[in-house]
Structure formats: structure tokens, C-alpha cells
Amino acid sequence: MKIHKCAFCGADIPPGYGIMYVRTDGTVVRYCSRKCFVSATRFKRNPRKLAWVRKQQKRQS
Ligand SMILES: [Zn+2]
């Protein structure tokens, strides 16, 4: 199994976790959690402007 990255926050998604979302144009995007999924699809937030995403990315690198 390939480990995918969250399209919103960039975190690693272990196999069996997260949400796979297929857009109407056919592109597949993966999100690590419902928080990321809702932020990206319903609220159309910019991940670069969110404090909790930046904090998470800083911890990873
Ligand atoms: Zn995420």
C-alpha cells in the first residue's frame, strides 16, 4: 500500500485512514481527516492561512 499525503495539510495518511474524494472532473484528492475534508470542500479555505495547518507542517519537517 502506498502512503498518500493529505491534499490539505500535507500529513501522511496511513492505509485505511482518511477520506478519498473524487471531484466531478475526475481528479482524486485524499484528505487525512474530516477536518481537512470539510475545510477544503465546504469552506474552500486556503491551507496556507490556517494556523493549525502551519503548526502541523512545522512539526513534520
Ligand atoms: Zn489533512
pLDDT, tens only, 24-61: 999 999 999 999 999 988 888 888 888 888 887 777 66
Q: Where are the alpha helices (DSSP H) in 1-61?
A: 34-41, 51-60
Per-residue pLDDT for 1 more than 70?
yes
Neighbours of ion ligand 1 (CB under 5 A): 6, 8-9, 11, 32, 36
Q: What is the CATH number of domain 4-60?
A: 2.30.170.20
CB 18 within 8 A of CB 32: yes
Distance 22 CA to ligand 1 centre (A): 16
Q: Which pLDDT does position 26 carry in this prediction?
A: 93
* pTM of the predicted model as reported, rounded to 2 decimal places: 0.76
Distance 59 CA to ligand 1 centre (A): 13
Q: Which pLDDT does position 61 carry in this prediction?
A: 61
Instruction: Find, among 20, 22, 39, the residue nearest to 31 by Cα.
Output: 20
Per-residue pLDDT for 9 more than 70?
yes
Question: In the structure grid, which three cell numbers stand for residue 53, read together?
Answer: 495547518
Distance 18 CA to ligand 1 centre (A): 8
